[in-house]
Amino acid sequence: MKNFKKHKEIRKKLKSAIKKGTLGLIDIGSSKIVCIIIKFSEINKKPKNLDQIDENNRVAYRVVGVATKKSVGIKKGEIIIAEEVEKTIRLVVQQSQKMAASIIDEVVITFSGGEPISKNLYQEIRTQNQSVSSEDINNLLSKYNFQIYPENREIMHAMPINFSLDEKTGLTDPRGLVGNILGLDINLVTIKKNVLETIHQCLQNCQLSLAGIFFSPYISAKSSLVEDELKLGAICIDMGAGTTGISIFYNHQLIFASNIRFGSENITSDIMQAFQLSFNEAERIKTLHGGLVVTNLDDNELIELSFSDANKEYYNYERPFISRAELISVIRPRCEEIIEEIQFSLDKAGLEQLSSKRIVFTGGGSQLPGLYELASEYFGARIRIGRPMRVQGLPQALQGSQFSAIIGLAIEISNLQDEVWDFEIPTNLEPGQRLRSAVNWLKENW
């Protein structure tokens, strides 16, 4: 039985930071590191002018400091050069602190690396009395065996997603309901332990303490999906630079999360190789002229290449122009590959029976023109290119879909999802119970 000591500590820090009033949010992405500082106003008071979904218990806050920097030393969402990442985090924190004119000690991190694995656990118990009490829920949680396999993994999320009572399912809060058998689905997201500890170490070197860590596909879905989509179920695809995250929501709960190690950075490197350009130039052409659907007009549309880089002698001088059709022909296969990968991992998750086949694309890669057409061709579902919701105080420059993760983090912090470690799990069982559990264990193993 795991007692989630570390997770509880981190959660306690987050609660105290919210009480103190300021909290830093950092998105460690493959292409950029974003830090925003949010200031909380009165807790548990409904905000007057907030362009967010109204919900009880939502904490009012506003963004007071923002800083974005291109990330160095991060590959596929994982830190590969700790020193450079520390430097960037320091820079970003410093700038946002200057803007906010206040200091942050606790930061909440979101990132997409670490080879996440999402799996669902199910257990059920008999209720002690007629109606379900919170004690029953705690007892139920204590029945779970959060043994992680293999050993080098750490639990990132363990969210109770669905309570069932007898034949009824889809309950969010079963307390007070009358029934005999109480069941619970838990979605467990685990990532590599060393990846998590590297982030811990980096933050410690920046004099910051970790107050929470969230998986970025889950977080960006929180900002991109609208209320109906969350309720009826939707797939959110976060196309980042290094990785593409997939998260599936149903009934306001994350039921599956995964990660593909392909991203829009791969598209850029394809352009780099095809036209012999520098990375920055390829990125510029991709963002300004990139697309996925070829039209007749594109053959005539010539894109001027600029060789303003220092090492321009190395690159091809003789072709200062390429046509847009050529560019699209380079981008499209890679995009198709990514979409195929998404499809593959969705099939693997076995969620064909999801009632509402709604797919929402978000992240920086989703801004590629023509993605809508391409994706609807493949998925045959309702596609939407999502943009993150508005958060009070966020500057206009940070409202693009590439910032969906950091905005989602702010939204998540204001309305925290319950995790397993938020419950009081009874660790020391009664002597009789302990004996019974030992007998059960013997029964199961022989």
Partner 1 sequence: MSQIKSYPTPSKIRYRLERIWLRQWFRKLVLFTLVTLILLFFSLFVLISSYDWTKLETFKQNIFERPELSISKLKINNANSDLVNQINAILQLSFPINSIQLDIKNLQKIINNIDLVETANIRINDKGVLVIDVVERKPVAIFREADELTLIDIKGFKINNIFSRSDRKDLPLIVGIDGNLNVQEALKIYQILSENIKEIRGIIRIGKRRWDVILKSDKRIKLPEQNPKKSLRKFLNSDLNYLISSNKFSVIDLRFTNRIVLRKVTEKKQ
Contact mark string toward partner 1, 157..196, x via CB under 8 A: ----------------------------------------
Which of 2, 15, 58, 90 contacts partner 1 by CB under 8 A?
90
How many residues touch partner 1 under the rule CB under 8 A: the total is 19
* Sheet with 153-165, side-by-side order of all strands: 117-126, 181-192, 153-165, 168-171
Closest approach, Cβ 385 to partner 1, in A, equals: 28
Contact mark string toward partner 1, 93..132, x via CB under 8 A: xx--xx--xxx-----------------------------
Q: How far apart are CA 294 and CA 287, in angstroms?
A: 16
Q: Is 216 in the site for partner 1 (CB under 8 A)?
A: no
Token pair of 235, please? Answer: 């797939």
6-35: which residues touch partner 1 (CB under 8 A)? none
Q: How far apart are CA 108 and CA 113, in angstroms?
A: 16
Q: How far apart are CA 339 and CA 224, in angstroms?
A: 19
Asked if 92 and 26 touch (Cβ cutoff 8 Å), the reply is: yes
Which of 81, 178, 435, 439 contacts partner 1 by CB under 8 A?
81
Scanning 92-100, 134-142, 292-300, 334-342 for contacts with partner 1 by CB under 8 A, the matching segment is 92-100
Closest approach, Cβ 174 to partner 1, in A, equals: 45
Q: Is 231 in the site for partner 1 (CB under 8 A)?
A: no
Closest approach, Cβ 80 to partner 1, in A, equals: 9
Closest approach, Cβ 111 to partner 1, in A, equals: 19
Scanning 35-43, 83-91, 356-364, 374-382 for contacts with partner 1 by CB under 8 A, the matching segment is 83-91
Strands (E), 45-112: 61-70, 74-75, 78-79, 106-111
Q: How far apart are CA 320 and CA 307, in angstroms?
A: 9
> What would you report as the CA-atom Rg of the chain, rounded to the nearest whole angstrom?
24
Q: Which ranges constitute the DSSP H helices of 52-133?
A: 82-100
Q: Is 82 in the site for partner 1 (CB under 8 A)?
A: no
Of 278, 340, 336, 245, nearest in space to 29 by CA:
245
Asked if 174 and 162 touch (Cβ cutoff 8 Å), the reply is: no
Q: Is 435 in the site for partner 1 (CB under 8 A)?
A: no
- Note the residues at the interface with partner 1 (CB under 8 A): 69, 72-73, 81, 84, 87-88, 90-91, 93-94, 97-98, 101-103, 206-207, 279
